[in-house]
């Protein structure tokens, strides 16, 4: 039995795209926690040792190889040259310490800081605290960007799903004029997903991701950054309209949610015509998300 389970585990890792999404979006649900399938290897190893099964031990090489192929490259850190540092953080509209949160983000010394769930009066506190180090900023709805470099051409990006009737503004686009050239920067907060008895409820998130993907595809500037709470992992096929067009982090897992016990990175840094090197989490703030910071190399 451990040998059979080892083969099945390896199959799920390698062929996760074959798991259908038509019923309960089971494929996306699996992909949201795909790296954690590696824990099954530990359990199966214990079973194989208890049964003294040489066949099971050999079979375990399959899921180990599959996990290493999919996620081994994310292990370790990267200290090579980079052009820009960015921070992405859903600060939470229930955050009781916006000033402390802002100061913590400044401590990472990024060039750009993207924030979501900005609500008054906390928005004014973020703006005031960040102003000294980040003189340029734009806010549209509940998302904003703070920058050390001039920003122009800020506008709303409409990513609202059709089923949402109320006022809902969670996307912006602006141009950062950096020493390395002009960069189109998108900040977005996609709709939340819910795990229910019927499966993963992600239709609104998927629709919003598709709208955002089309906006980025139409972007005329060559270099594009996307920073945001995308409510999905880079393995989740629901984010395919974005991950198919943009590069994701080459190093680091940076599980960002929930802050108390992070199990997935749903706060993302992606780039077009640039490389996202190492991504990592920062210390907890007053939010239910952990901030993430990434190094980006242009070209």
The structure tokens 């750009």 sit at 112
Global pTM reads 0.94
Residue-level pLDDT at 237: 96
Residue-level pLDDT at 211: 98
CA distance 87 to 85: 7
Question: Which of 74, 96, 121 is the last residue before a domain boundary?
Answer: 74
Q: In total, how many domains does the chain have?
A: 2
The per-residue pLDDT for range 230-248, each reduced to its tens digit, is 999 999 999 999 999 999 9
Q: Do residues 276 and 270 touch, judged by C-beta distance below 8 A?
A: yes
Question: Which of 74, 93, 123 is the last residue before a domain boundary?
Answer: 74
Residue-level pLDDT at 258: 97
Tell me which residues of the chain have a pLDDT lower than 50.
Answer: none
Q: Are residues 181 and 34 in the same domain?
A: no
Q: Are residues 100 and 16 in the same domain?
A: no
Residue-level pLDDT at 126: 98
Residue-level pLDDT at 80: 72
Q: Are residues 90 and 134 in the same domain?
A: yes
3-state secondary structure of 75: coil
Q: Are residues 98 and 207 in the same domain?
A: yes
Give the DSSP letter of residue 140. E
3-state secondary structure of 235: coil
Residue 124 Cα distances to 61, 121, 160, 206, 271, angstroms: 54, 6, 25, 32, 29
Residue-level pLDDT at 218: 98
Q: Do residues 199 and 29 touch, judged by C-beta distance below 8 A?
A: yes
79 domain residue, yes or no: no
Residue-level pLDDT at 256: 98
Domain around 241: 84-298
């Amino acid at each position: 039995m451990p040998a059979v389970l080892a083969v099945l585990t390896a199959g799920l890792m390698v062929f996760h795209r074959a798991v259908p999404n038509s019923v309960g979006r089971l494929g996306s649900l699996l992909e949201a926690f795909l790296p954690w399938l590696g824990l099954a290897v530990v359990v199966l190893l214990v079973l194989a040792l208890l049964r003294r099964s040489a066949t099971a031990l050999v079979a375990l090489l399959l899921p180990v190889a599959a996990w290493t192929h999919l996620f081994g490259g994310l292990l370790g850190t990267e200290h090579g040259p980079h052009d820009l540092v960015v921070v992405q953080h859903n600060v939470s509209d229930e955050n009781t310490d916006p000033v402390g949160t802002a100061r913590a983000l400044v401590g990472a010394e990024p060039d750009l800081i993207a924030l979501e769930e900005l609500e008054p009066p906390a928005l004014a506190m973020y703006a005031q605290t960040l102003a000294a180090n980040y003189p340029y900023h734009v806010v549209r709805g509940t998302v904003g960007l703070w920058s050390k470099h001039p920003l122009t051409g800020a506008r709303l990006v409409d990513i609202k799903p059709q089923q949402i009737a109320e006022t809902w503004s969670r996307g912006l686009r602006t141009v950062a004029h950096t020493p390395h050239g002009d960069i189109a920067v998108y900040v977005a907060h996609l709709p939340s997903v819910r795990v229910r008895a019927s499966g993963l409820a992600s239709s609104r998130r998927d629709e919003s991701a598709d709208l955002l993907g089309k906006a980025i595809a139409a972007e005329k500037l060559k270099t594009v950054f996307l920073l945001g709470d995308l409510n999905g992992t880079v393995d989740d096929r629901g984010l395919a309209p974005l991950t198919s067009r943009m590069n994701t982090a080459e190093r680091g897992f940076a599980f960002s949610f929930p802050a108390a016990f992070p199990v997935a990175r749903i706060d993302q840094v992606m780039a077009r015509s640039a490389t996202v090197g190492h991504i990592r989490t920062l210390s907890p703030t007053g939010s239910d998300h952990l901030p993430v910071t990434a190094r980006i190399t242009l070209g």
